């Protein structure tokens, strides 16, 4: 997986990603295997807006979040 090949020009490519499901924005993280979410939806870099071309999954909320 070469992050620069896909077009993200951020200093740290693909540092933060998001997807939109039913008009709600969700943070996502890269994964090696295709997931139902990445099969049905697209993800983008949160910083530059470039579409992320590889599989991803919805990030689990932190147990420490209050």
Tell me what pLDDT residue 7 has: 84
In angstroms, the CA 25 to CA 27 distance is 7
CB within 8 A of 32, min separation 6: which ones? 55
Please work out, in degrees rounded to the nearest 5, the angle formed at the alpha carbon of residue 55 by the alpha carbons of 49 and 56.
70
pTM over 0.75: yes
Label residue 3 by pLDDT band (50, 70, 90): very low
pLDDT at 61: 73
- C-alpha 54/C-alpha 39 separation (Å) is 10
pLDDT tens-place string over residues 9-65 = 999 999 999 999 999 999 999 999 999 999 999 999 999 999 999 999 998 776 655
Listed in sequence order, the residues at least 6 apart from 23 whose beta carbon sits closer than 8 Å to its beta carbon are none
Q: What does the pLDDT read at residue 20?
A: 97
Calpha distance 43→35 (Å, rounded): 12
């Amino acid at each position: 997986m070469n992050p620069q090949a896909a077009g993200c020009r951020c200093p740290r490519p693909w540092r933060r990603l998001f997807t939109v499901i039913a008009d709600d924005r969700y943070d996502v993280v890269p994964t090696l295997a295709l997931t139902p979410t990445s099969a049905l939806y697209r993800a983008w870099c949160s910083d530059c807006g470039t579409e992320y071309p590889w599989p991803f999954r919805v990030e689990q909320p932190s147990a420490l979040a209050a």
